[in-house]
Amino acid sequence: MSWKNESLDRLFAPKSVAVIGASDKQEKLGALTLLALNTFEGNVYPVNPRLESIGKLTCYSSIRDIDDQIDLAMIAVGPQHVIPAMTECAEVDIGGAIIFSAGFKELGGIGIEHQKKLREIVDEAHIAVIGPNCLGAGNPNIGMNATFFPHPVQIKKGSVAMVSQSGGVTGLMLYRASDSGLGISKFASVGNRVNIDFHDLIRYFRQDAETEVICLFIEGTEYGREMVNEMSLTTPKKPVIVFKVGKTPASRDAALSHTGSLAGNADLYSAAIRQAGGVEVAGVSEMIDTAYLLSICKHRPKGNRVAIVTHTLGIALIAAQTLELNGVELPNPTEETAGKIQSMLDMPIDIPIKNPIDLLAQGWAQPKIFADAFKM
Task: Please report the pLDDT score of residue 15 as a whole number.
Answer: 98
**Across 254-266, average pLDDT:** 56
Confidence check: pLDDT of 253 > 80: no
Residue spans per domain, the chain: 1-132, 151-300, 309-374
pLDDT at 232: 98
pLDDT of residue 261: 53
Is residue 38 predicted with pLDDT exceeding 80?
Answer: yes
The CATH code of domain 1-132 reads: 3.40.50.720
Give the pLDDT confidence of 61-120 residue by residue, as tens digits. 999 999 999 999 999 999 999 999 999 999 999 999 999 999 999 899 999 999 999 999
Q: Decide: 193 and 129 in contact? Cβ < 8 Å.
A: no
Tens of pLDDT, residue by residue over 46-56, are: 999 999 999 99
Residue 254, pLDDT score: 54
Report residue 279's pLDDT band, with 50, 70 and 90 as the boundaries.
very high
Q: Do domains 1-132 and 151-300 have the same CATH topology?
A: yes
Q: In this structure, is the dihedral angle defined by the CA atoms of residues 121, 12, 104 and 165, taken in order, positive or negative?
A: positive
Q: Is 275 exposed, middle or buried (0-12, 13-18, 19+ CB in 10 A)?
A: exposed
Q: Is the pLDDT of residue 264 over 70?
A: no
The pTM for the full model equals 0.87
363 band by pLDDT with thresholds 50, 70 and 90: low
Domain boundaries 151-300, corresponding CATH code: 3.40.50.261
